[in-house]
Chain A
């Protein structure tokens, strides 16, 4: 009987002190390291943080395990990948405390609140102003013959920036999407695996223009002490990548998970976003000075629920492979 009581006590102890298991993509690590320490101090809840490469891989891991998946919260599903996550019914709805502090309704990923947004950033065109003489006022200007083989973009099949750019062009041009890509194709020098490869080529002088982030000016000022390249969102209409966090359907620590989602919308967490993620926080916050060099879109283009990214990629592939 005594032994039984000890086992029972130890079991209860292990349940009450079990950590909240939080999964994210790998580059979220610096934010997690600094922010979750504060969360534990505030709530007494320990966080066990795990990373699995990138967000798509993370979804693949959840689908491979489903109810056996040991995570309670997933951080880092963007508005594009959210369609896939919702279709697979991975998250449960939860309206967090402080939801009314979110600066714009355009930043809400899901009306059912299966994902809570915690940061956002726009895609932009960056260029070497000493090498580009012609004004770029709209995306169509980039189809001009003078820009032939001058632009580096990312592959939408391998890069989230590439996917975001594809969607941006779709949202800007709608039915003329395919016409735009046929006209734009001769301006492309190469299509890279990811953003890093593009930047490497851009920096080496392979091409004067590339698709990048609207916060590049801020990053460059912070890291190199000067803004090296001009940043542009044609017509001010930006496609915004919004990242969200959700509570996993199979969690047995619902209350703790809800507290973590609440925490994501507090200043204690949001202050870590700008200089780690190079994105914008979703609540009003005093920003680091270097963010004066970041470009905010004047208006945000939203994706409709019925847009199939796979269909868009298929159309894009056909145009790219046309001779």
Chain B
């Protein structure tokens, strides 16, 4: 575990402090005594707590349906779990406007019914709406997958013993997946605590979080040391919450078994509503990206220039940026899921290892990608840029990949591996024939999440790869900043479609892999 802590420090904290080390203690006092600091910190905690509770409540029924069914709705829920990682801020803003805006779908329906239009956006409620939108899928991802792994026999035995549906859920299922519950809550709290785009796009600056102040010091005022102080404060808050919630965690292991399938109309209806809530803004963003509603025309004539070779405002061809993104994201997916898997397996053998791992992984969430990228540029400038970019993607996606894989690895009883060892199986053959096949689906799932996160990352990519390795998101950013909004919107949709396609393909593999395990067990 010491090695893991050292690796985390080497990857995140060390470059940061070597670059912007707080040499002057006055900076800490000055930053923290800022008149707005306590108000912003209090608001940050408040919105993160409420958002976490709401996202957990909204996501739980959908997670249960996802775990207990195999139909189209369940498959769509599976794809929905990737929304937080591929739906970029630029698309989210336009998507929410098209559904909840003054001239959006909901207000149009109200107007058709003869009712007054209402102001949904730019309120505290809108921030909660945005956070639930982005984070409830995490509950489906982590909790849903953990629930899927509870063996059929356990639930059927409870039924035979006379337990009702709710009793089984609260007394059998949820206690069994406590690590996944804790993981979801911890991740969602961390994401909401460090939330930036959702708060500012849907709420407005009157609802600013600590992340807004970090952005201000680092990117507008050129005061990286003050930004580092606030990043440290952010990390302490998250760790505090992490320690508090981890105290409630109990580890219960169970053997791998068949998925329990049941049909429940109410929970299916809820899941359909949940899917609508998640997909309507995405459909809205898509519609706006191919049709210019203000001028009443399709935008294809405008976007045709994107495919005619080198684009001056991007500085290269679109194909080049797409290749860079795919190459780096695939690489990051493979590396990060392998590291997470190795760490999670190791943590099983050390008392308290899994908890330690969770807290350490959250370091990366406290630092904005652009700060990390600058610190890499100044401290690790001897490493080639593509490697630095993969390293950045790994650090940024490690919390979610690690938490997901950890949830999977910690819940499963692996005594039979020891039995295999006693039977003379070598370490390699145990891994090759037992461990890897058992977790292949989870690994692929985690790799796809990392792929989606890496494809969507732009703050750090813009700094590290601007010259030699511009990515697809850098192309979108450059089009946006050169005021080619329609083209930027279109490419955001293309990015979303690429990720959804990759996710769907990977899900097929996951399903077939799970089927193989089921048939062999």
Residue ranges of A at the interface with B (Cβ–Cβ < 8 Å): 26-27, 29-30, 33-34, 49-61, 63-65, 68, 81, 84-85, 88, 149, 155, 157-160, 163, 188-193, 196-197, 199-201, 203-206, 219, 223-224, 276, 278, 309-310, 313-314, 317-318, 320-321
Contact = CB atoms under 8 A, between A and B. Distances in A.
Contacts of A84: 221-223
A75 B215 CA distance: 21
Contacts of A52: 374, 377, 463, 466
22 contacts: A26-B477, A26-B478, A29-B315, A30-B315, A33-B312, A56-B218, A60-B223, A60-B224, A60-B374, A65-B378, A84-B222, A84-B223, A157-B205, A158-B215, A160-B220, A190-B203, A192-B200, A201-B93, A309-B221, A313-B216, A314-B35, A321-B36
Contact of B220 (A50, A158, A206): A158
Contact of A197 (B201, B219, B294): B201
A158 B315 CA distance: 26
Instruction: Give me the 8 closest cross-chain CB pairs, A-B, nearest first.
Output: A59-B222, A191-B205, A157-B216, A190-B204, A64-B19, A190-B122, A64-B378, A155-B205
B101 A206 contact: yes
Given A64-B378, A157-B215, A196 B221 contact: no
A140 B94 CA distance: 31
A205 B102 CA distance: 7
Given A26-B466, A61-B374, A203-B294, A56 B485 contact: no
B66 to A, nearest CB: 33
Nearest to A226: B295
Contacts of A64: 19-20, 224, 374-375, 377-378
Nearest to B313: A30
Contacts of A33: 312, 315
Interface string B183-226: 00000000000001100110111101000110110111111100
Given A191-B205, A193-B197, A197-B93, A310 B312 contact: no
Interface in B161-193: none
Given A53-B370, A163-B220, A219 B483 contact: yes
B338 interface: no
A39 B97 CA distance: 45
Contacts of B222: 55-56, 58-60, 63, 81, 84-85, 88
A144 to B, nearest CB: 20
B429 interface: no
Interface in B17-62: 19-20, 34-36, 39
Contact of B206 (A26, A54, A199, A320): A320
B224 A199 contact: no
Interface in B67-104: 90, 93-94, 97-98, 101-103
Contacts of B97: 200-201, 204, 206
A313 B90 CA distance: 26
Contacts of A63: 20, 222, 224
A200 B93 contact: yes
A321 B463 contact: no
B216 A158 contact: yes
Nearest to B294: A203
A59 B200 CA distance: 24
Contacts of A68: 378
B294 A26 contact: no
B480 interface: yes
Interface in B369-413: 370-371, 374-375, 377-378
Given A52-B374, A206-B102, A157 B220 contact: yes
A166 to B, nearest CB: 11
A320 B478 contact: no
Contacts of B313: 29-30
Contacts of A320: 205-206
Nearest to B98: A204
A84 B174 CA distance: 54
B106 to A, nearest CB: 14
A30 to B, nearest CB: 5
Nearest to B16: A64
A196 B477 CA distance: 11
